[in-house]
Structure 1
Amino acid sequence: MAWLLLVIAGLLEIVWAIGMKYSDGFTKFWPTVGTLAAMVVSFGLLGAAMRTLPVGTAYGVWVGIGTVGTVLLGIGLFNESADPIRMLFVGLIIAGIIGLKMTAA
């Protein structure tokens, strides 16, 4: 159950990171409300997952999911760079997430 909470928390991290972009520096009301709500729930689920999972593993996976998802959505939504070296490093983050999951106690 902790892993499911952690994955959902990571997905919500993507939501709030992208929401920050759409909130335009927290100047647009509804994107700001959605961003703040996603932040609160994401942090809450991360905290719940940390009751069971090691802090380094939980935080690393949470940040990794958020980073990979945000990079991919940045490419799709905001025309950010998708050059091969950037994708290589995204792949390394994914490998790190998998490694942390495989070695978690």
Structure 2
Amino acid sequence: MYLAYLFLAGTVALEVVGAIASRYSQGFTRPLPTAVTVVAIVGAYYLFALALHEGLGIGVAYAIWAAVGIVAVTLIGVFALRDRITRTQVAGVVLTVVGVLALQLGG
């Protein structure tokens, strides 16, 4: 099961790279950021498939992927890219994490 979570961590990392690269792709008009986005997202789904193959349930695995990705992209956006975030949006991110924890701990 350890390997499944390692694959899931790779999934999240590649998805975050893809999301950030897509910001710089200018609507997929810039070749390098577009290529990085496509390769990262395809790689993320490949690693996700491996995580599922190693025994993670799809619902919980996808929830973890989504929540960790949301937190990571939000933090990168706020601290590295100078995005603004409201208290309500922070509460939404926190609730997302709490929901995923409930899914994980409930099983």
Q: Give the TM-score band, short-chain normalised.
A: 0.7 to 0.9
Q: TM-score by structure 2 length?
A: 0.85
- In the alignment, the residues of structure 1 paired with residue 101 and residue 17 of structure 2 have an alpha-carbon distance, to the nearest angstrom, of 21
- In the alignment, the residues of structure 2 paired with residue 53 and residue 83 of structure 1 have an alpha-carbon distance, to the nearest angstrom, of 34
- The reply on whether 1:7 has 2:35 as its aligned counterpart is no
- Residue 45 of structure 1: aligned partner: 47
- In the alignment, the residues of structure 2 paired with residue 10 and residue 87 of structure 1 have an alpha-carbon distance, to the nearest angstrom, of 20
Deviation at 1:102, TM superposition (A): 3.0
- In the alignment, the residues of structure 1 paired with residue 15 and residue 84 of structure 2 have an alpha-carbon distance, to the nearest angstrom, of 21
Give identity over the alignment, percent. Answer: 32
- In the alignment, the residues of structure 2 paired with residue 8 and residue 76 of structure 1 have an alpha-carbon distance, to the nearest angstrom, of 22
Deviation at 1:28, TM superposition (A): 0.7
Note the alpha carbon deviations across 1:2-47, whole angstroms, 9 max, x for none.
0111011012111111111111111111111111111111000001
Pick from 20, 23, 26 the counterpart of residue 22 of structure 2. Answer: 20
Note the alpha carbon deviations across 1:50-95, whole angstroms, 9 max, x for none.
1111110111111112111112222224432222221122112222
Residues 97 and 8 (structure 1 numbering): CA distance in 2 closer, same or farther, change over 3 Å?
Answer: farther
Ranges of 4+ aligned residues in structure 1 off by more than 4 Å:
none
- In the alignment, the residues of structure 1 paired with residue 34 and residue 69 of structure 2 have an alpha-carbon distance, to the nearest angstrom, of 18
Contact 1:7 / 1:65 at 8 angstroms: preserved in 2?
Answer: no
Equivalent residue runs for 1:1-105 within 5 Å: 1-51=3-53, 52-104=55-107
Structure 2 residues without counterparts, runs of 5 or longer:
none
- In the alignment, the residues of structure 1 paired with residue 95 and residue 11 of structure 2 have an alpha-carbon distance, to the nearest angstrom, of 21
Q: TM-score by structure 1 length?
A: 0.86
C-alpha RMSD of the superposition: 1.6
